[in-house]
Chains A and B, each alone.
Chain A
């Protein structure tokens, strides 16, 4: 489908997210009169994504990175928060409807098999969205064949095949073509290369770089693989138990991280150098259960620098090493009363 116009101009961020929140209520345990337990999956998440940029989102299981993606696509309805796409509020009567938004924002999932309909040929799969949005069938199929070629699959050879006849890497190429069929401007890639073998992952990463140029795309790249995020992102957002703990330019995050969690996460990467193996684990224990997260700073239970103030007050995102670098840690705030606050400032 035809690509939609750039409405807001180059300076307008393509996506602004403000105070996004989703709490999933759980069943009350038997014989328990207390309040209903709640999973605070995403809590007050805010960020903005400039046009043509790639924002990498990292964090461990339960940090809310995938829920954030699903909230943006309205696959799950948010409890609160504003999403502004190219200057227009999503889901407001005076803004962009969810249906209009989905033409502009598309998603690629981790499981390449589960996200394709096993009964449709891959050409039908790719043409499905445009037809649903009103493109004549013949035209949609021609465009789908063209897209197949663009993602590196020969249309003559592949268009009549079914998903089970393809390898994982080929299926993920089909998923990318399907996501591009509506001519979106933003692609959400949720662990899109994580299930692929390394040699195939490299091919798909190269493809994503090419497509970004060709189609003038903006990426939200969610991954648990810190090396891949370092490679692909312009900016990086680090999440922990539903909160953004640090966000900033990729070189600042990887070179001058200020949040103890970001530092621990980066130091946990296995070494690629046989002479410099890891001697000590940067932090102990597992991430806590997102049901009833710790009070104040959610990372304090695993943080080597935790003090009383960390349990009492929740740290706010504030400017860190440079403009555009935000850190939510009391050590970054000279006025917080944390013993090490001045060291970081």
Chain B
């Protein structure tokens, strides 16, 4: 099947007067139509930057790109602003962590959804309003017609996030980019929004890239996961496979340091140290300074070892570990 989205050797640098940050250092992956890819990583891993690069949402004057991002065969890097605007919110939509700051506070929810529909679909005001109401019903906001008249601040956090999903789905996108959309929500609300997203994804056949730092959240929504560290994908594969049999020492450490109750009374197997500064482009394996298996071969950039069914790990030990 042709990929919906295909990223090859993506590099993103932020250039400043005092320093340059190498945020993404050679990311490659494909997303099939209707597939849900969870990108798992900690702060500074480059997961959000990768997502924003797809939609061209990074500050244009400071950002330097290399590599390729192709959506349905069309190259997005270097796409002129106007062509990008036609794509944004139409074929590709995005939802964010903080719905309160993603809506314009001075317009009603309904106004903001209809505006998007009128702009991208070229339909009249009345048709757009009817569609907006349908969308609020789709994301299960009770008394949808009433809620169209609400301002963002009049809604609870969970309702605002549902409204943002409605806005994202307004023009029937093929690709939905989700940047930690449930992180700011309370536990009982988070699970409702996750289940809603999973249901809508299935019903509408959406391709989704879901960025999160929470292994549990990735498990609930993804079919495949990619683990990022210091601007690179260090491991990827089918969800259950990676969670049960992680091969890269960072993935293993991340899973081991994710606390759950059965670890009570035991010392946690924490990864020592902290992620590297991204002031220089990485030489060799970025995880090596924290890795208990590091040796001389880690000074060279580790190759992508492919094994099993669609699995990859960027580690010199991957071949023997995958066989074990």
Contacts and interface: CB of A to CB of B under 8 A. Distances in A.
B274 interface: yes
B254 A198 contact: yes
A270 B159 contact: no
A264 interface: yes
B266 to A, nearest CB: 9
Contacts of A270: 190-191, 194, 214, 216-217, 219-220
A151 B158 CA distance: 38
B263 interface: yes
Contacts of B187: 60, 224, 226, 265, 268-269
Looking at chain B's contact residues, the main secondary structure is helix
A284 B261 contact: no
A287 interface: yes
Interface in B276-304: none
Contacts of B118: none
Nearest to A275: B240
B215 A202 contact: no
A245 to B, nearest CB: 13
Interface in A280-296: 280-287
Contacts of B159: 286
A250 B261 CA distance: 10
Contacts, number: 127
B219 A198 contact: no
A281 B267 CA distance: 32
A277 interface: yes
Contacts of A254: 261
A290 B275 CA distance: 40
Interface stretch (A19-27, A42-50, A178-186, A227-235): A227-235
Contacts of B158: 285-286
A323 B181 CA distance: 41
A274 interface: yes
Contacts of A198: 42, 213, 215, 254, 257-258
Contacts of A287: 186, 188-189
B257 A199 contact: yes
Q: Which bracket fits the contact residues of B?
A: 35 or more
Interface residues of A, number: 45
Interface stretch (A81-89, A90-98, A203-211, A332-340): A203-211
A200 B220 contact: no
A265 B188 contact: yes
Interface in A208-224: 209, 224
Contacts of B190: 268, 270
B272 interface: yes
A160 to B, nearest CB: 20
A230 B261 contact: yes
A271 interface: yes
A105 B274 CA distance: 30
B271 interface: yes
B76 to A, nearest CB: 30
Interface of B: 42-43, 156-159, 186-192, 194-195, 213-217, 219-220, 239-240, 243-244, 253-254, 256-261, 263-264, 267-272, 274-275
